[in-house]
Amino acid sequence: MAARPHDPAARSRLIGTLTALVVLWPLFQAAEVRPGALFDPANLKVIGNFLGGFLPPETGREFLGYLGTATLETLAIATAGMALAFCLAVPLGYLASGAARERPTLNPLTRGLLTILRGIPELVWALVFVRVFGLGPAAGVLALGLTYGGMLAKVYAEILESVDPAPAQALRRSGAGRPLAILYGLLPQASKELASYTVYRWECAIRASVVMGFVGAGGLGQLMDQAMKMLNGGEAASILLTFMMLVLAADALSGLLRKGLDTPPAPRATPFGWRSALLALALPLAILASFRGLNIDFTALFSTDAARSIGEFLGGFFPPDLSAEWLRKVGKGLWETLAISIVGTLLAAVAGLLLALPRPHAPFGVLLNALRSVPELVWATITALAVGLGPFAGALALALHTTGVLGRLYAEALDNTPPTPARALKLAGAPAGLPFLYGTLPAALPQLIAYTLYRWEMNIRMAAILGFVGAGGLGQLLYFELSLFHYAQASTVIAAMLLLSIAVDQASAWLRRRLG
C-alpha cells in the first residue's frame, strides 16, 4: 500500500466546521454574548436581591385576590380570542383551500390576507389595539383573534388539502356542491387532525394571552409587568408559580381532549353521547362567560367613532419612513433579531440535549416543564435584570424557554430511537457514552435537527418582539417609536417584521422539502 488511506469526507467536514464558525462569530457579536455579564458584581447584586425576594412567595389576601382575577382574565382572553379566531378561520380557510375544487386555484387574495394576519406577531397587534381602544382585555382578544385566525385558517386549508381528495371529487362529479363535498368527503378524514390542532392552539393562546399583558392588554402579564417594575420578588414568584400551574393544567386538559378524539363513536343512530353533550354545553358557556367576564363593549368597538379613530390611527402609519438612515437602523435591528434567535436556539439545543440524556428522566422532566411553562417574554424581564438590557438578555430568555421545549422533544425522540445498535455496542464492551454516540445519536439526529429547525423558526418570530421588554432587536425599535408616537417609523419596523416572517416561512418550507 503506497499512500496512507485517508477519509475523503474529512476535507468537507473541516470546511463545514470552519464556515459555521465564521458565520456564527459575527452573530454572537451581534447578540452581544458576554457570559461575564452574568457574574458582574453589580448585576449579581440586583438579581440576587430580586431572587432573594422570591422566598416566601407573596400570599397576602389582597394580592391573591388580584392574582385570581388576573388568572381568570387570562383564561377568558384566551378563550374569547380563540372563539373569534375560529369564526375568522372557518370562512377564510374555506376560501384559501384548494380542497374539493374542480381546478386548483392559488387564491392570492385570501392567502395574502392570511400571510399578513399571522405574519405580524400578536403582541404587535395588541400594542396597536391598545393605542386605539385603550388599556384592557379588548385589545388582547382582538389581537389573538386576528393572528390565530390567520394561523388556523392556513393550517385548516392545508389539512384539508393533505387528505385523500378522491372522495370529495367523486361527490362533486355526482353533483354535490363544494361545501357538502368537503363535509362528506374530506371532513371525516381530517376531523381528528383539525380538532387536535385547534386544541393545541388554545393551549398556545393561554401562553400568548399571558404575554399580552405586558403591553397593557390585561391578565397575568400585566400583573407580572407591575411586579417586575417594582422588583417585587415575592409577587413575581407567586405569579410564576401560577403560570406554571396554568400551563400544566392546560397541557393536561388538552391531552385529555385529544385522547377523547381517539375513542370510537358509539354504534347508535346519532354518534353523540354524554361526552359530546357535555362539551356542546360547556364550550358555548365558556365562550359566553369569557366575553361577559371581560366586559368588552363591542358596540363601542364597532361604532363610527371607533372606525374614525382607527382610520386616523392607521393613516398615521402611511407613508412608512423609508429614509436611508432609518432603513439602516431597521436593518441593524433585523440582523440583531436574527442573531438573538440563532444564539438562543443554539444554547437551548446544547442545554436541552444535556438535560434529555440522563435516565430516568423524572427530576430533569420537572425542570424542563418549569422552563417551558414560563413564556420567553417573562424570562426576558428576568434575564434583563441578570445581564442588563440588550440582545444578550433576549438570547438568554429564548434559550431558557426553548431548553424546556427542546429538552422534552429530544427526550421523546431519543426514547423512540431503536435501541439495538447501542445495546450491541454495549455488549461488545464499549465504554460508557460511546454506545450512545455510535449507536443512538446517528439514528436520532435527523429528528433532533428537524425539531431544532422548527423551534428556530418560532424563535425568529419571538426574537422580533422580545425587545418590548428591552431585550434588543426589532421589538425594541418598535416599542420605542410607538411610545414616541412616531408612527411612520413604526410602520417601517412592522413591515420589516412581516417580511422576516414571510422569509422564514419560505425558508423553512424549502428546508423541510429538502430534509423530508
Window contacting another protein (CB under 8 A); options: 93-101, 124-132, 337-345, 429-437: 429-437
C-alpha angle 241-244-249 in degrees, rounded to nearest 5: 125
Cell digits for 16? 463545514
CA 286 to each of CA 82, 207, 245: distance values in angstroms, whole numbers, following the listed order: 11, 18, 20
Q: Does 177 bind another protein (CB under 8 A)?
A: no
CB of 457 to another protein, least distance (A): 8
Nearer to another protein, 172 or 455 (CB): 455
Interaction residues for another protein, span 206-235 (CB under 8 A): 207-208
Nearer to another protein among residue 309 and residue 508 (C-beta): 508
> Which set of grid coordinates corresponds to residue 284?
358555548
Q: Stretches 29-37, 51-59, 64-72, 450-458: which one binds another protein (CB under 8 A)? A: 450-458
Query: What residue ranges in 143-244 does DSSP mark as E strands?
Result: none
In whole angstroms, how close is the CB of 421 to another protein at the nearest point?
4
Grid coordinates belonging to 178: 363544494
Minimum distance from residue 504 beta carbon to another protein (Å): 12
* Count of residues touching another protein (by CB under 8 A): 53
Among 321, 336, 457, 481, binds another protein (CB under 8 A): 457
Q: Closest separation between CB of residue 400 and another protein, Å?
A: 15
Give the residue from 481, 468, 117 showing the smallest Cα distance to 320.
481
* Length of the chain in terms of residues written: 516
- CA torsion through residues 290, 292, 297, 301, sign: positive
x/- mask, another protein, residues 182-201, rule CB under 8 A, reads ---------------x--xx
**Which segments of 324-390 does DSSP mark as H helices, in order?**
324-356, 362-373, 376-387
Asked if residue 262 binds another protein (CB under 8 A), the reply is no
> Could you tell me which stretch among 174-182, 262-270, 343-351, 405-413 binds another protein (CB under 8 A)?
405-413
d(CA 453, CA 466): 19
Q: Which of 32, 37, 28 is nearest to 383 (CA)?
A: 37
SS3 80: helix
| Candidates 4-12, 109-117, 279-287, 292-300; binding stretch for another protein (CB under 8 A) | 4-12
3-state secondary structure of 146: helix
Q: Which set of grid coordinates corresponds to residue 56? A: 416566601
The answer to whether 5 contacts another protein (rule: CB under 8 A) is: yes
Distance, CA of 241 to CA of 67 (rounded, Å): 11
Applying CB under 8 A, which of residues 92, 296, 342, 409 lies at the interface with another protein? 409
Q: Does 292 bind another protein (CB under 8 A)?
A: no
Give the footprint of another protein on this chain (CB under 8 A): 1, 4-10, 13, 197, 200-201, 203-204, 207-208, 405, 409, 412-413, 416, 418, 420-421, 423-435, 437-443, 445-447, 450-451, 454-455, 457-458
